[in-house]
Structure 1
Amino acid sequence: MTTETTPEATGTAAPDAALLAIRDLHVTYATGEGGLPAVRGVDLTVARGQIVGVAGESGCGKSTLASTVLRLQPPSATVSGQVLFDGRDVLAMRWGELRAVRWAGASIVFQGALHSLNPVHRIGAQLAEPMHIHQPGLDEARVTERVAELLDQVGMAPERAKSYPHQLSGGQKQRVMIAMALACDPELVVADEPTTALDVMVQAQVLNVLSELVRGRGVGMMMISHDLSVLADLCDRITVMYAGRVIEEGPADQVFAAPLHPYSGALSAAFPRVGDPAARFAPAGLPGDPPDPRNLTEGCSFAPRCPRAAPVCLHDEPGLVAYDDRAAACVRIGEPDLEAR
């Protein structure tokens, strides 16, 4: 069954019921060689108590999408569309409104913890700062207690509050960033590769903390990762991006186990299934490189790398089409009679 895609058709919450509703978002960076379109017409919805994963190769627009949710783009960026947080457009907020939303309403876990922590302040002081700003009624004893709770939540000893960033490992810095994002009990957490620098055991612990936060308190989360297997295990739904566009969206287990789009299939095949002998003979990888956003060709951006590309793919860029509770942007789906190039 195929229909034109809408938020309801793809299984996401309706805009007025969503905690986060991104609608037709475009982000273009100004460069010396012209405009660089990093995000091109993205729609994405996150409901309360829901984890939505965003997957794709480096350069597909994931981190740009994450930073735009809290309007953290540099002045060189041109942004259009809507980012509705609890019904209010973040892109249209005045500075005072935006400042009140950041950390208290919505927080972000940045990918580069090394560059996100202040090297001359102790960890405890940096964890306490958002609480002093957004919860001024808390006394100092409660702030100190809350800092200890946050460190314990992410698997660190409370005594680490006295440490400076240079005294922590890369994984410990990343855990501090996650603790900071949780400091003011936000309604939405945007996690940009939050477990990149963590070993497998700590990664599992941190993902469990994030999952409990969402399930237990009804927090919404947008989780960005290269690892489709992690997203499939943690998320309710997965959005796959390529060249700044959404090319597939649907329930996490279905996108991982039975992807509709060839690119999603390549991402899924990159992660072997434990106990599945066939996984040993999975393709070694996807040939070619992602396209240069400044020199996008006519037609489907994935066509030059697609093993199933048809002549029509070189001229027409497909839009998202709904397939029951899923959506994908590929003319091959449901049309097996098209001849491969």
Structure 2
Amino acid sequence: MNYLEVNDLTVTYRTQGGPLPAVRGVDLTVEPGSKLGIAGESGCGKSTVALALLRLLPKSAVLGGRVLLDGEDVLTMKWGRLRAVRWAGASIVFQGAMHALNAVHRIGDQIAEPILLHGGVTRAEAARRAGELLEQVGLPAARAAAYPHELSGGQRQRVMIAMALACEPRLIVADEPTTALDVMIQAQILRLIDRLIGDHGISMVMISHDLSVLADTCDRLAVMYAGRVVEEGPAAEVFAAPRHPYGQALGAAFPRIGDPASRRNPRGLPGDPPDPAALPSGCSFRPRCGVAEERCAHVDPTLWPAGPGRRAACVRVLDGTVEAPAARTAPETAVEETR
């Protein structure tokens, strides 16, 4: 049984200009102990999906579909049950730890707070557990007395990971947990997350714009564009040989290590994602797609089989005309140096 199952998830924001569809019919599954990555540009809907998993969106958001967490629908839970599920059933690591942590409270107290709420323990036991968690993420237990501003960016992110582990959840949602960190600290944090997830047997959903990070960290990968999943499959395969033109464009935006031609001629993707309030007809990616055809203006593609365990939302997948780029491998150089 899947620990997380998302069926036809929709998120529409109520705005003064009218409804804004941020997420449009997303389906995702996460098996116990597995790691799912969600990739895409800013504005594609991936962080909205992450927040929807635990109903952390503002009141202006209207949610539809189902988010089954261990068989229970998060979207229909009463507030009391939802409070019990957050932290204990599933927790989240936000991007930008300085904004997520309370600047006027010591980090030990912030880690202990969910333990006190969900663990039924004394303050002394919660404080001791907070110290143990800090040591698990590579910080001395004595740092529990520090305030967030007294820690570096990497240390604050470690605190966020310790908080996510505090109540021993079965699922962690990591929303761009390394975006603001330099490449070496990013590699250390990614290895820390990978080790802790493995040690505790926890499932994970990781959000990132960086395909290489997800290919190196996750088992499966879903690529989002304009509020929909446009490609999904085994992470290494989606990174190495994407089947959707958008996935190919994302992969091409990252230079290949050791390839002078790639370094001197970096490739990007012209234009911007479409305005959710004014989506183009047919395929949403059509205005930016280098291989768009006339039929793409009339067909709104869904996810079709694109190989063993893979699906892609492109009409070219149906007739086998998608040309995969030259095989790539996940760039592990910077990560390997920290092992």
TM-score by length of 2: 0.90
Q: How does 1:19-34 map to 2 (within 5 A)?
A: 19-34=3-18
Q: AA paired with 2:176? A: E
Q: Which residue of 1 aligns with 2:329?
A: none
Q: How does 1:1-341 map to 2 (within 5 A)?
A: 17-136=1-120, 138-276=121-259, 279-280=262-263, 283-323=266-306, 324-335=308-319
Alpha-carbon distance in 1 for matches of 2:101, 2:48: 20
Contact 1:308 1:332 in 2 (8 A): no
Structure 1 residue 143, shift from structure 2 partner: 2.4
Structure 1 residue 58, shift from structure 2 partner: 0.2
Q: Structure 1's 214 and 169: CA in aligned 2 closer, same or farther, altered over 3 A?
A: closer
Q: AA paired with 2:60? A: S
Q: Please, which runs of 5 or more residues in structure 1 have no aligned partner?
A: 1-16
Structure 1 residue 337, shift from structure 2 partner: 6.4
Q: AA paired with 2:226? A: A
Contact 2:35 2:203 in 1 (8 A): yes
Task: Calculate percent identity across the aligned residue pairs.
Answer: 63
Alpha-carbon distance in 2 for matches of 1:204, 1:295: 38
Contact 1:270 1:282 in 2 (8 A): no
Structure 1 residue 65, shift from structure 2 partner: 0.2
Q: Please, which runs of 5 or more residues in structure 2 have no aligned partner?
A: 323-339
Structure 1 residue 336, shift from structure 2 partner: 5.9
Q: AA paired with 1:333? A: V
Structure 1 residue 159, shift from structure 2 partner: 2.3
TM-score by length of 1: 0.90
The answer to which structure, 1 or 2, has the higher relative contact order (CA under 8 A, 6+ apart) is 1
Alpha-carbon distance in 2 for matches of 1:319, 1:300: 9
Q: Which residue of 2 aligns with 1:4?
A: none
Structure 1 residue 139, shift from structure 2 partner: 3.9
Alpha-carbon distance in 1 for matches of 2:321, 2:43: 33
Structure 1 residue 116, shift from structure 2 partner: 1.6
Aligned residues: 321
Structure 1 residue 183, shift from structure 2 partner: 0.9
Alpha-carbon distance in 1 for matches of 2:230, 2:288: 14
Structure 1 residue 199, shift from structure 2 partner: 2.4
Q: Structure 1's 336 and 322: CA in aligned 2 closer, same or farther, altered over 3 A?
A: closer
